[in-house]
Amino acid sequence: MSDQTDFNSNNDNDVVVSVRIRVARNLAGFPFTGRASDSQRQEVLQMVTHAPLGGAFPDGLAWVNMTQASAQERQLLVERHLVSKHFAQSTLPRALGLGHGEQLGVMVNEEDHLRIQSIFPGFRLNEAFDLARSFDQALEETVDFAFHQRWGYLTACPTNVGCGIRLGAMLHLPALRYSGEIERVKRAAKDLHLAVRGYYGEGTDAIGNFYQVSNQVTLGASEEELLQHFRDEVIPKLIDYERTARQMLLEKNRPLIEDKVYRARATLKVARLLGAEEATKLLSTLRFGISSGLLHNLSIECVEQLLLQVQPAHLAQIDPFAAEEEKGRLSRAILVRRALGDYAEGNPEI
Amino acid sequence: MVHEVVIQNGNKMELHLCAEHAAAKGYILPTVPVTQILKQFAATGKSLKAQKAAARCCEACGLTFAEFRQTGRFGCATCYDSFMPSVAAIIERAQSGAVSHRGRTPKRIEGQADRAAVRRQLIKEIESAVAAEQYERAASLQGRLHQMGAEKKPPTEPTT
């Protein structure tokens, strides 16, 4: 897997970290995953992993057998948001298909037989939509999906029925959090039938002020209408709220913001031991500092990369000893100091 | 025991009758207080209704409605038909009042969709909504019915 983040400079990345399209599908003729027998689940796995995908995916997907993956590998996939925590911890026969340089991830035997996901950095919603759709259509050439004349594509949970599509964006909303406006935004989002979740999705905290926003209605509108509403109305509005809050904070309370940002940078530069959550919060503040014009010698791309590398399973890839928590804290601090340019071998004073 | 007070020509007369004599005089004696009877009746009715609903079972996968209520997850595609009309109410609530799919249709069933069945179902639900004075819901269903009429019809063979 590559740690490279494909960054487009003109994609609202000051607020939009990434976008995700998730499509839920079930194979016709089989009970849904939760009700199917293990042999039926195996059959679903076989059908999906061996289905020819045609010209759009000439190399097919790279399949990861989740039952054979180690706990650390599964954790790595969670940290990359390629699988849900639920899917990583499940004991059912299941697999993950990866394609297009990890921009496409297909979970087989999640709550639904298929959860097709495409994830793009920044606000590249159209590209994410097109990729997910092209896989959905390519697969539909060879397998039949459960479909109902009235309810559309059928899913295990009725909240996903219809188009079965969820459009999501990972937003960085520090100013709305600092100003206390985030609760009001969450209430407004609820009225607009949007779900606002934490860093790793449902039931997780918004560590580092990262929030996942997604549509909750999947029925009664076409895929294009849902996309258009989310892309042209919902997300621009949230971007606007956050930018206004940043401006207000800097105008009215600049020393407070500067203090937060510079303290975060100083801590990251000198810390000898760093926990994953602490590092995430401090890096989030750096990200805010860069996008607010307070920090100039750092790029959002660099911080994005560090945000991923400081997570436990990623860190263990770089330093196998970091799997132990205490050694991980030491290793993480070195990694960050090195990335921020303040680490020199044999110079313990820095 | 029945207490009877009779006032006749300004004279007050009190009678205390046992159950047997009261019945002989034509009094109908409730053996259990009526409130209790109603409560029992309501409870029995509710429990029977609830039990009947919970025991409903999907003919394809065997999932009971009670199990669905517990997990919020259907067992298979047939559950959507097996648990009607409850399914319609649940979906509409979960989907902010949306009453049917308007998105993409799989190629394999394009042009052979049994739209008439969906129409019949929608008309039935409009009638029920009007009867229950749920006018907003009726309007929403009506809107969908109109949309179905306006949507592109499946291609037909060209005539010469």
- A141 contacts on B by Cβ (under 8 Å): 107
Which one of B76, B126, B140 would you mutate to disrupt binding with A, by most A Cβ within 10 Å of its Cβ? B76
pLDDT at B159: 37
Token digits of residue B148: 């179905």
Mean pLDDT across the stretch A255-281? 95
The vertex-A340 CA angle with A267 and A283, nearest 5°, equals 55
Distance of CA A123 to CAs A9, A17, A103, A136, Å? Answer: 10, 8, 14, 22
pLDDT at A98: 96
Q: What percent of chain A has pLDDT over 70?
A: 93
**What is the C-alpha to C-alpha distance for residues B48 and A26, in angstroms, rounded to an integer?**
35
Token digits of residue A315: 């860190």
* ipTM score above 0.85: no
Model confidence pLDDT, tens digit, residues A206-247: 788 999 999 999 999 999 999 999 999 999 999 999 999 999
Amino acid at A330: L
Q: How far is the alpha carbon of B111 from chain A, nearest alpha carbon, in Å?
A: 12
Q: Which residue of B has its CA nearest to A160?
A: B95
Q: What percent of chain A has pLDDT over 90?
A: 76
| Count of other CB atoms within 10 angstroms of residue B139 | 13
Model confidence pLDDT, tens digit, residues B127-156: 888 888 888 888 878 877 776 665 544 444
Number of H helices, E strands in chain B: 7, 2
Q: How far is the alpha carbon of A237 from chain B, nearest alpha carbon, in Å?
A: 21
Its pTM stands at 0.78
More confident residue, A250 or A344: A250
The band of A173, judged by pLDDT with boundaries at 50, 70 and 90, is: very high
Whether residue A75 has pLDDT greater than 80: yes
Cβ within 8 Å, pair A218-B113: no
pLDDT at A324: 81
- A31 contacts on B by Cβ (under 8 Å): 60-61, 75-76
pLDDT at B41: 43
Mean pLDDT across the stretch B64-74? 92
Instruction: Tell me the backbone φ, ψ of residue A167, rounded to 5 degrees.
Output: -105, 130
Whether residue B19 has pLDDT greater than 60: no
**What is the C-alpha to C-alpha distance for residues B111 and B151, in angstroms, rounded to an integer?**
12
